[in-house]
Amino acid sequence: NAGVTQTPKFQVLKTGQSMTLQCAQDMNHEYMSWYRQDPGMGLRLIHYSVGAGITDQGEVPNGYNVSRSTTEDFPLRLLSAAPSQTSVYFCASSYRFWGNTEAFFGQGTRLTVV
């Protein structure tokens, strides 16, 4: 049982490049989400999904795209990287989005855009 697995752990991109951050969970969780954490701050929600085929925007969705084709995977795509997207990205999952909603986090991806 690996929990929530994020790849890569570190990434450097040039402005304008695109990339996909991978997130997978093996706990059969319905709810998955992506957050970003900027220095000295709490986490802010980018996008979330309440089940396969269903996604929605969070607090800071601009510049990011997501899809949820399976229960296990929830990739985050950066369409055209900008220096403002330099941050640490966390993927999280919960068994449900109601009731017991304890969240489990991946190890994070530290992204630098130059």
Min dist CB 62 to other proteins, Å, is 16
Looking at residue 40, the DSSP 8-state letter turns out to be T
Looking at beta carbons only, is 49 or 85 nearer to other proteins? 49
Sequence-ordered list of residues with C-beta below 8 angstroms from that of 98, at least 6 positions apart, any chain:
none
Looking at beta carbons only, is 15 or 54 nearer to other proteins? 54
- Residue in the structure block whose two tokens are 């992506």: 34
Min dist CB 11 to other proteins, Å, is 14
Q: Which positions touch other proteins (CB under 8 A)?
A: 31, 33, 35, 41-43, 45, 48, 50, 56, 58-59, 88, 90, 92, 97, 100-105, 107-108, 110
Note whether 82 and 113 are within 8 A (CB): yes
Min dist CB 43 to other proteins, Å, is 5
Alpha helix (H) residue ranges in the chain: none
Nearest to 81 by CA among 35, 21, 8: 21
